[in-house]
Amino acid sequence: MMHSSTIFQICFLLQLVLTALSASTTQRCHPEDQKALLQIKKDLNNPAALSSWQTTTDCCRHWKLVSCDRGKTHRVNSLSLENIDMNPHPLPMPASVSALPYLTILGFGPGNFTGPIPSSIVNLKSLHTLQVTSTLLSGTIPEFLSQITTLTDLSLSFNNLSGEIPASLSRLSHLQSLDLQSNSLSGPIPDIFDSFPNFTFLYLSSNQLSGKIPKSMGNINVTYLYLDNNKLEGDASMLFGSKKDTWTINLANNKKLAFDLGKVEFSYELQILNLSHNEIYGNIPEVLTAVRDLVSVDLSYNNLCGKIPTGLSSIATASAFAHNKCLCGSPLPSCSRRRSF
């Protein structure tokens, strides 16, 4: 005959199993979030990429491209609508995303979304990351983005945006990263960078930005700085400094940036330096050889003179120093007597 204590233990274990099974089948997805997500799916004509979005499954556990807060709320806090193939025609970004009030991360693309960015996202009071990348978005950068003052990361890269960078972005005092590369933006870079005390990443490459680099950009301590392939001109020396933590500076192919490189101090964290295809003059300072983490240098197509510091030849070939005014020394065999084009 089974002992009573044994029966008790079996019952206790069965209760634990039933509790665990019950917990595993409990819907964590908030009903309002599920409703909003299903509306987004409908607005996008039920694409195959969202086939996992079914009412019979938990959106927090089983729906692709969706993440939820695992703490107390279990509300949807991240939505990344990437690689959505919308047939037969591209569709606008759904305004229904604004019905997810707990979103902190919102992404559109890569994908054939058209614009505009829905203005209703200003109602997302917890949003800190907005990414719209590699889409068919065109027109100007919307002014209403400056109303989302919680933003820390803004990426509108690889689109068809035009016009100027709005100075109203200065209202985003928490901004740490701005990525606007590979658009058709034009005009001057606004002098707004004193508004961003914690700014670390700036990508403005491959646009048509023109004019001088604003002085406030020299006051930020960025890790990555990409201003290449624009039409910027004049002084860029304020971007450098031995007390900065910069890893990468790329100013290549602006054609008319001009400053004395010999008077520049470099971050000791610097790894990549590309200043090619400009009008930079002076000599290459010896202090550059003290930057231990430097792995890539390109100073070609400038107006530099003097001897190449010993040590740089170990990280750069002759092409990195070619087409200057009168550089000489390893890895170049001799001084150039005039600039080559």
A 10 A CB-CB count for 50 gives 21
**Confidence class of residue 11 from pLDDT cuts 50, 70 and 90?**
very low
Per-residue pLDDT, 8? 46
pLDDT tens digits, 69-126: 988 889 999 999 999 987 778 999 999 999 999 999 999 999 999 989 999 999 999 9
Per-residue pLDDT, 339? 43
Per-residue pLDDT, 35? 97
Per-residue pLDDT, 115? 85
Per-residue pLDDT, 271? 98
What 3-state class would DSSP assign to 101? coil
pTM greater than 0.75 (yes/no): yes
Per-residue pLDDT, 334? 62
Taking all residues of the chain, what is their mean pLDDT, rounded to a whole number? 91
Out of 43-47, 152-156, 165-169, least confident range: 43-47
pLDDT tens digits, 232-244: 999 999 999 999 9
Separation CA 28–CA 283 (nearest Å)? 64
Separation CA 133–CA 108 (nearest Å)? 7
| H or E, element range at 39 | helix 31-43
Domain ranges of the chain: 80-328
Is-cis flag, bond preceding 110, omega within 30? yes
Per-residue pLDDT, 258? 98
Separation CA 311–CA 151 (nearest Å)? 43
- Measured in residues, the chain has a length of 341
CATH code of the region 80-328: 3.80.10.10
